Amino acid sequence: MGEIKYNTKQREEILELLKANRDRCLTAREICGMVKAGEATVFRTLSALAKEGTVSKFLSGGTPTYQLNECGAHHEHIHLKCSECGKLIHSDCSFIEELEHHFEKDHSFKVDRSKTVIYGICSECGRGGGQKK
Amino acid sequence: MGEIKYNTKQREEILELLKANRDRCLTAREICGMVKAGEATVFRTLSALAKEGTVSKFLSGGTPTYQLNECGAHHEHIHLKCSECGKLIHSDCSFIEELEHHFEKDHSFKVDRSKTVIYGICSECGRGGGQKK
DNA sequence: TTCAATGCAAAGCTTTTGCATAAAG
DNA sequence: CTTTATGCAAAAGCTTTGCATTGAA
């Protein structure tokens, strides 16, 4: 299934799940558990979607995870990921442009927002001293 | 081997290898092949070093890879990684402070420099139109 | 109908673990 | 000596593949 030709329930369900979790990263395993589709289908679908650019694959705490790429390369936001609770925050503010501008101007480096993740501690965890492990 | 207490030849050799390849990402498999240490030791060492922040783990074309993080957690720089050639660039400029300040002030988000990686296309690849696949 | 996508189960990899042994301090 | 790190081999995980079957167009 290198390229997508037909639409199927399975793929739709996987996409629905990813949409419902736009702000989280899901592992392949989690997706398998949440969808009525076989493992092979999940992996095949995810890799087809990743190839298309519809989803992105990240490394979250050592484990590969997938997340909808609701933007294409041209959306005005970047991801902040909390190392404590795992939350993925979408930062939409205009600072991103400044950031891109800086790296492009001073380092000739074209930032790819869709892949970049800034790690740190989110407001909740920073305040409360962290919740989960 | 959660924490490192003793120094061993194996670990030294692994570190040497990583130093000799500061500007590349190596897979665990490659490292196994290039060092006289068992697989288990390589993995244990890499994960201990990653926990310490001495090395970073990336996802390079779908495969996890490791690379020396020649800085320590408290150094004034952030990493830029080229999605094209895989090069890891250390950006030392003061913009980092601005960046941290912004996220802390406007988003109450404490950036962790040692974990953050900004993806994009480096000057060489951007210019030449990319070299390797 | 036709051809792609699914599902299952097996195969292939990668990474982790248990335990006896070797090495560091 | 005491305690940690190593190595091996086995186990556990994750991802891919082959092939018959199902489902889309």
Residues B30 and B48 grouped into a single domain: yes
A90 CA: distance to closest CA in chain B (Å): 10
Residue B72 has pLDDT above 70, yes or no: no
- Kindly state whether residue A29 falls inside one of the protein's structural domains: yes
Residue A73 has pLDDT above 60, yes or no: no
The CA–C1' separation of B95 and C10, in angstroms, is 53
Q: Which of A64, A46, A62 is nearest to A54 (CA)?
A: A46
Question: How many whole angstroms separate alpha carbon B40 and alpha carbon B46?
Answer: 10
- Kindly state whether residue A38 falls inside one of the protein's structural domains: yes
Mutate which: A60, A119, A123, A127, vs B, most B CBs within 10 A? A119
Residue A64: C-alpha distances to residues A2, A102, A115, B57, B58 (Å): 20, 30, 13, 11, 10
Q: Tell me: the pLDDT tens digits for A4-36? A: 889 999 999 999 999 999 878 899 999 999 999
Question: Looking at A42, A68, A94, which one is the last position of a domain?
Answer: A68
CATH number, domain at A83? 3.30.1490.190
Q: Tell me: the pLDDT tens digits for B76-96? A: 678 888 877 777 787 878 888
CATH number, domain at A64? 1.10.10.10
- Kindly state whether residue B99 falls inside one of the protein's structural domains: yes
Residues B58 and B25 grouped into a single domain: yes
Residues B18 and B46 grouped into a single domain: yes
pTM for the model = 0.77
Which range of residues forms the domain containing residue A120? 78-126
Residue A116 has pLDDT above 90, yes or no: no
Band (pLDDT 50/70/90 cuts) for residue B128 is low
High-pLDDT (> 70) share of chain A, %: 89
Residues B96 and B63 grouped into a single domain: no
Q: Domain total for chain B? A: 2
Note whether A96 and A79 are within 8 A (CB): no
Residues A61 and A19 grouped into a single domain: yes
Nearest to B111 among A107, A110, A118 (CB): A118
